[in-house]
Chain A
Amino acid sequence: MIETIAFYLFSAVTIVMFWITVSSKNALYSMSALAAGMIMISGFFFLLDADFLGVVQIIVYTGAVMALYAFGMMFFDTTREVKENIRAPKLVFLLSGLTALLLVIAFVAPIAADHIKAFYPMVEGVENPQAVGVVLFTKYLVPFEVAAVMLLVAMIAGIILAGKKMDESLTLKIEEEFQEKGAK
């Protein structure tokens, strides 16, 4: 019973939060709503017995990603209202609405997948983080390491793009040089 209430409550809040995210004209509101929605998503994970994933969701998304956005937004003028020239808003509604409809139709249909067998079945009596750890460090070790390298690369890229010589960008300079050459 509590699970049902929790599901509907979280669903409602998440949908509202995300809606604010995509429709708000203020970037700050948008970001705050996104952070709230992320937290609510982690609630679903806890409901689904994916404790570890829920924790990761909070730490990585709400902690790291949102903090990154918050820092990033310091560079932009966020107090001003975002002006957007939205063309054909009806088309946007139509497109996403139709997609939603089709997806819902697809998912409401009974899933005829009796023959699906679990690759890595959950074991009774084992805590989720433990089970996740075992699978992650055995079967998914290589992807895990690759993901680690990818994160490192992304970090370096972020630092170089944003951090080096804040007032005169490397990329900017190169383009100016190009333009000078072109002028000659």
Chain B
Amino acid sequence: MITLSHYLILSAILFCIGLYGVYRRKNLLLLLFSTEILLNAANVGFAAISKFYGDLTGQMFAFFIVAVAASEVAVGLGLMIVWYKRRGTLDIDTLQSMHG
């Protein structure tokens, strides 16, 4: 029988894969992919809790996360294009003009 804990642990694992990507990736585009994974991991957790507590609020949150993710992609991609046109690369290490 699959319980809530199964889903939550799955969600945690997916989240950490995303986290790993965020830490590791140096390419802006792939970094953005990793954040998508983070969001989706959270969505799985929300949907699971929604199911096991019989409450729709979790799904509502998931909807709004999807909406946020969509707008994030739109703006993020636009910024990336601008950046790419300027520098010809998407490497984060070239993106450190502000340092102490």
- Our verdict on whether A and B bind, yes or no, reads yes
A residues sitting closer than 8 Å to B (CB atoms) are 3-4, 7, 11, 14-15, 18-19, 21-23, 27, 30-31, 34, 37-38, 41, 44-45, 48-50, 52-53, 56-57, 60-61, 64-65, 68-69, 72-73, 75-76, 82-86, 89, 92-93, 95-97, 99-100, 103-104, 107-108, 111, 116, 118-122, 131-132, 135-136, 140, 143, 147, 150-151, 153-155, 157-162, 169, 171-172, 175
Chain A contacts of B1 at CB under 8 A? 4
* Contact A82–B30 (Cβ < 8 Å): yes
CA distance A86 to B27 in the complex (A): 11
Q: Please name the residue on chain A nearest to B17 by beta carbon.
A: A18
CA distance A106 to B36 in the complex (A): 23
Question: Given contacts A72-B80, A96-B16, are A111 and B4 in contact (CB under 8 A)?
Answer: yes
Which of B21, B30, B50, B69 contacts A50 (CB under 8 A)?
B50
The secondary structure that dominates the A interface is: helix
Q: Please name the residue on chain A nearest to B57 by beta carbon.
A: A119
**Extra 7 A-B pairs, beta carbons < 8 Å, given A157-B78, A161-B81, A172-B86:** A22-B37, A48-B47, A48-B48, A92-B20, A104-B12, A118-B57, A121-B56
Question: Given contacts A147-B67, A157-B74, A161-B78, are A120 and B12 in contact (CB under 8 A)?
Answer: no
Chain B contacts of A57 at CB under 8 A? 43, 66
B residues sitting closer than 8 Å to A (CB atoms) are 1-2, 4-10, 12-21, 23-27, 29-30, 33-34, 36-37, 40, 43-44, 47-48, 50-51, 53-57, 59-60, 62-64, 66-75, 77-82, 84-86, 90-91, 93
Chain A contacts of B73 at CB under 8 A? 65, 68-69
Chain A contacts of B75 at CB under 8 A? 154, 157-158, 161
> Would you list 17 pairs from A and B whose C-beta atoms are within 8 A, ordered by A residue?
A22-B21, A22-B24, A22-B25, A31-B33, A34-B37, A48-B47, A50-B59, A53-B62, A75-B81, A82-B27, A84-B27, A92-B24, A99-B19, A118-B57, A132-B59, A132-B63, A151-B74
